[in-house]
Amino acid sequence: MAINTPKPSLSSGSTYRSSGYSAGKEEGVVVDLSEFADRLVNYEDISAELSEEQERRIVDYVKSMVDMSHSKIRKRYDHWKEADRAHDVYVPAETTDFREKAVIADTRAIADTVLTYLMSALGGRNPMFQLEGLNRQSRKSSLILERVLHQQMRRTAGEARLAQMLLDSTRYGFAPTKIVWDAKTNQNQMVNFDPRRCFPDPRVNWGDWDNMQYIVFSDFVSFNSLTYSGLYPKLKKFPALRHKTSPPRNSWNAHHWHKEEGRGLNIDPAAPHQRERADHAYFTLGDARVIDESWVRLSGHEIGIPSIDQIFMVITILDENVVIRMQLNPYGRQFPVVIGGLYQDSHKTYGQSLYDLILPMHDIATYLLRSRIDNVSAALNNLIFADPTQVSVPDLIDRNPWGIVRTMPGSKPGDGVFIAQVPDVTRGHFNDIAQMSDLKQRVSAASDAQQGMPTANGVRTATEIQRLTQLGSQRLGVLARVMSATTIRPMVRMMTANIQDSLAMSGSIKIDQQNMPSQLSGMMEDGYLDYDVQKDLQGDIDYLVIDGTLPVEPTRNAETWMNMLQIMQQTGLNMEYNAGQIAEEAIRAMGITDLDRFRVSKEQLNEEGPSPSQQLALMEKMRGASVQPQENIQKEVQKGNLIPMSEAKKRA
């Protein structure tokens, strides 16, 4: 028996194929900007020419983007707040209860250890970021460019910006960072953003940033700072915008700023501030102004220019109702932002942080510590049962070591009073806290050795400690390598592109003679290298992803050089290599960078003759020559490594 399944009926307007459906004139159009097509293509800001209707539609569109993102990301806010409290070992200033002041602090130590490793692995090299030329022609350009980038990072406190990004990655698993070009200083700028003030497209999974339709940055700033930036010519054209013309029209949910005194979050732009003093009414300080900077890509149809496939734009809204910047994205077909995260998972919308893993154990350890305090306090204060007919209860409550407890007539001391002994049921809590600490270390790979702390019982030899430290470093090294590929690489690519496109035509950098590549030796003069942007910095260049390990420490490097010398002496390879230069590298690795000031000059050498070490080296070469074939001896003489006996006697 066949089962007849009813076919779905197509009512008028139910699908795009319905005959009864008729698209409106502006169906799918966000705002019609066809009249500004030529100006947009020329990267002009059209915000000052927008009509009231156009401005309203643009503001509504940006608000819709922010609302969509805020409805999803706000679910993370409470957890981030708890992560802040754990990281800061935060105790509210108004806390009066002693137990509330007890907070486990080793969570911060573990987070700092992970941060220190990541900072050393990702930014501890010189130059900070290694670049590679993807072809032979761009090899020299990559060597110069990586040093120009290193110079800019030092000038702009780039290490601090990088550390903040890594801290946000560790603490929140979400570290939005803008990479912009500052035309006034002629260099790159890293701008760290509070995750609570960044609203990315929630329809893409973690790491799939190229498919985002938008990302919005909300901030608050003074009007003078906005005008000084030079990004908003409309503010100068309309001076009345200095003062809020009206309260925020839409009251965006994302702008319900959180205020928490004592932790730096003490500015609430939604609250009015004192703008004028009664005795100085001739000036105005002004309130904090809320801005929403949106980076968005639109189809040409959405802006009334269907001939364009897609267009990348930047739109800035002031106080939720005024468009003060609207122009083509100056960074091309990409958003100038990277989003860092500690644990990468492309199947999730938001990344996972270190505190996602260890915060539950932190809370348990803090509870154990506070319950221990409660138990000790109860034991110290005792639990007293008293008969008010035999003893004065107020005297028991206000007792002190020299106080008097009055008894009723006829009662003996101790009658009517029973002191209950509170058992010490939390004696083992410190052991439990230690176990929680061990679990946090296992999860984070931040062992005692990694933290620079004495190791626990069971690890007794330096070899064992070194081995365990290496294993922990391998786990952290994986995190560093993934971050290098997913976060640092796009960041450096943006910086490199900005330098190639926007840097002044020429410049100069100081190069350490000892770390100078041989390819650049011909361009050096007086310790400086002069370059031309169009000639020396162009090419197909990419960031070289690191392996996640820490840079070699100087002491370890020196030991490596010394071991090399020992092996060469034992195998006779010192006859084929310049042992003196290897020894110099070992000395420099020990921290002696200015080795040339100890070198004997050629004039002194000609006057005084060979030094004892040089004479010994000459004898060693002569001795080695006696066991070499004549053919090899002649080759060494031609190279200058061996001197005939007759000539040696003349020199002596």
Confidence bin at 466 (pLDDT 50/70/90): low
Whether the Cβ atoms of residue 214 and residue 313 lie closer than 8 Å to each other? no
pLDDT-derived band at 472 (thresholds 50, 70, 90) equals low
Cis peptide before 195 (omega within 30 of 0): no
Beta bridge partners of 327: 314
pLDDT reported for residue 42: 93
More confident residue, 549 or 162: 162
The mean pLDDT value for 372-392 works out to: 78
Q: Which of 79-83, 314-318, 401-405, 463-467 has the highest mean pLDDT?
A: 314-318
Helix/strand/coil (H/E/C) assignment for every residue in 22-58: CCCCCCCCCCCCHHHHHHHHCCCCCHHHCCHHHHHHH
Per-residue pLDDT of 232-252, as tens digits, reads 999 999 988 887 656 555 578
DSSP symbol at 536? H
Tell me which residue has tokens 């989003």: 339
**Rounded distance between C-alpha atoms, residue 350 and residue 203, angstroms:** 11
Q: Coil, helix or strand for 363? A: helix
CA proximity to 524, closest of 533, 514, 534: 514
Average pLDDT over residues 36-63: 94
**pLDDT for 652:** 54
Average pLDDT of the residues in 313-332: 94
Question: What is d(CA 107, CA 100) in angstroms, rounded to the nearest whole number?
Answer: 17
> Mean pLDDT for the chain?
80
- At 421, the amino acid letter reads Q
Which residues does 212 contact at the CB level (< 8 Å), separation at least 6? 200, 201, 204, 335
CB 269 within 8 A of CB 290: yes
Which pLDDT score, from 0 to 100, does residue 501 have? 92
Give the per-residue pLDDT at 14.
46
Q: Is the pLDDT of residue 538 over 50?
A: yes
Do 417 and 384 form a contact (C-beta atoms < 8 A)?
Answer: yes
Distance CA 416, CA 605 (A): 103
Residue 640: predicted pLDDT: 64
651 versus 85: which is more confidently predicted? 85
Higher-pLDDT residue of 372 and 326 is 326
Residue by residue, DSSP assigns 190-239 as EEE--GGGEEE-TTS-TT-GGG-SEEEEEEEE-HHHHHHTSS-THHHH-G
> pLDDT digits over 261-314, tens only?
555 566 666 665 555 555 555 556 667 788 999 999 999 999 999 989 999 999
E-assigned strands of 475-540?
506-510, 524-525, 528-532
The stretches of 484-629 forming alpha helices (DSSP H) are: 489-502, 533-536, 554-571, 579-589, 602-608, 612-625
**SS3 call for 377:** helix
The identity of residue 46, as a single letter, is I
Confidence at 511, pLDDT banded by 50, 70, 90: confident
Quote the pLDDT of residue 604. Answer: 67
Confidence of residue 22 (pLDDT cuts 50, 70, 90): very low
Indicate if the pLDDT at residue 646 is higher than 50: yes
pLDDT in tens, 478-509: 899 999 999 999 999 999 999 999 988 888 88
Most confident of 49-63, 391-405, 583-597: 49-63
Q: What is the pLDDT of residue 337?
A: 95
Question: Looking at per-residue confidence, does 240 or 200 come out higher?
Answer: 200
Higher pLDDT, 43 or 528: 43
Compute the average pLDDT of residues 120-143: 89
Taking a C-beta distance cutoff of 8 angstroms, is the pair 50, 323 a contact? yes
